[in-house]
Structure 1
Amino acid sequence: MTVDVSNETVLLERERHVAWVTLNRPERLNAMNDAMLDELEAVLADLAASDNRVVVIRGAGRAFSAGYDVAADSAEVGYAAERTPVEDRDRLVSNIERFTQVWRHPQPVIAAVHGYCVAGATQLASLADITIVSDDATIMASPALPLGGGYLSPLWVHLVGPKRAKLMSFDAGRKISGKQAAEWGWAAESVPPELFDEHVARTAHSIARTPAPLLRLKKEAINRAAELQGLLTYARMGAETDALLHLTPEVQAYQESIKTYGLKGAIARFNAEDAP
Structure 2
Amino acid sequence: MSPKFETLILDENENIAWITLNRPSRLNALSDMMLSELSVVFDYLASTENRVIVISGAGRAFSAGYDIAPDSEEVGYAHTRHPVEDRNRQLSNIDLFMKIWRHPVPVITAVHGYCMAGATQLCVFSDITIVAEDAVIAASPAIPIGGGFISPLWATVTGPKRAKLMSFDAGHRIDGMTAVSWGWATQAVPADDLISHVKSLAKSIARTPLSILTLKKEAINRVAELQGLVSIARIGAETDALLHLTPEVQALQESIKTHGLKAAIAKFNESN
- Please confirm whether the aligned pair reaches a TM-score higher than 0.5, indicating the same fold: yes
Correspondence for 2:208 among 207, 210, 220: 210
For residue 74 of structure 1, report the CA deviation from its aligned partner.
2.2
Distance 2:79 2:211 in 1: 46
Correspondence for 1:41 among 32, 39, 42: 39
1:71 maps to a residue whose letter is: A
Correspondence for 2:123 among 122, 125, 128: 125
Distance 2:198 2:39 in 1: 22
Residues 12, 45 of structure 1: alpha-carbon distance in 2 compared, 3 angstrom cutoff: same
Structure 1: tracts of 5 or more residues without a match:
none
Query: Aligned-pair RMSD on alpha carbons?
Result: 1.4
Correspondence for 2:63 among 59, 62, 65: 65
Correspondence for 2:193: 195
Output one character per residue of 1:235-255: Cα deviation in whole Å (capped at 9) or x when no partner. 110111111111111111111
Distance 1:54 1:159 in 2: 22
**Does the alignment pair 1:116 with 2:107?**
no
Percent identity of paired positions between Structure 1 and Structure 2 = 64
Distance 2:195 2:73 in 1: 33
Q: Is the 8 A contact 1:5 1:13 kept in 2?
A: no
Q: How does the TM-score come out when normalised to structure 2?
A: 0.97
For residue 195 of structure 1, report the CA deviation from its aligned partner.
1.0
SS at the partner of 1:92?
Answer: helix
Correspondence for 1:175: 173
**Does the alignment pair 1:161 with 2:195?**
no
For residue 5 of structure 1, report the CA deviation from its aligned partner.
4.6
For residue 79 of structure 1, report the CA deviation from its aligned partner.
7.6
For residue 154 of structure 1, report the CA deviation from its aligned partner.
1.0
SS at the partner of 2:119?
Answer: helix
SS at the partner of 1:151?
Answer: coil
Q: Is the 8 A contact 1:80 1:88 kept in 2?
A: no
Correspondence for 2:225: 227
2:268 maps to a residue whose letter is: F
Output one character per residue of 1:44-100: Cα deviation in whole Å (capped at 9) or x when no partner. 111111101000011111111100000011244478644211111100111011101
Output one character per residue of 1:110-168: Cα deviation in whole Å (capped at 9) or x when no partner. 01111100000000000000000000100000000101111101110111000000000
Distance 1:79 1:265 in 2: 16
Correspondence for 1:139: 137
Distance 2:257 2:29 in 1: 17
2:50 maps to a residue whose letter is: N
1:140 maps to a residue whose letter is: A
Output one character per residue of 1:208-259: Cα deviation in whole Å (capped at 9) or x when no partner. 0000000000000000011110011101101111111111111111111111
Q: Is the 8 A contact 2:77 2:253 kept in 1?
A: no
1:220 maps to a residue whose letter is: E
Distance 1:124 1:238 in 2: 14
1:90 maps to a residue whose letter is: N
SS at the partner of 1:64?
Answer: strand
1:16 maps to a residue whose letter is: E
Between stretches 112-121 and 256-265, larger displacement belongs to 256-265
Correspondence for 1:269: 267
2:95 maps to a residue whose letter is: E
Structure 2: tracts of 5 or more residues without a match:
none
Q: How does the TM-score come out when normalised to structure 1?
A: 0.96
1:263 maps to a residue whose letter is: L
For residue 6 of structure 1, report the CA deviation from its aligned partner.
3.9
**Does the alignment pair 1:52 with 2:50?**
yes
Q: Is the 8 A contact 1:72 1:78 kept in 2?
A: no
Q: Is the 8 A contact 1:53 1:107 kept in 2?
A: yes
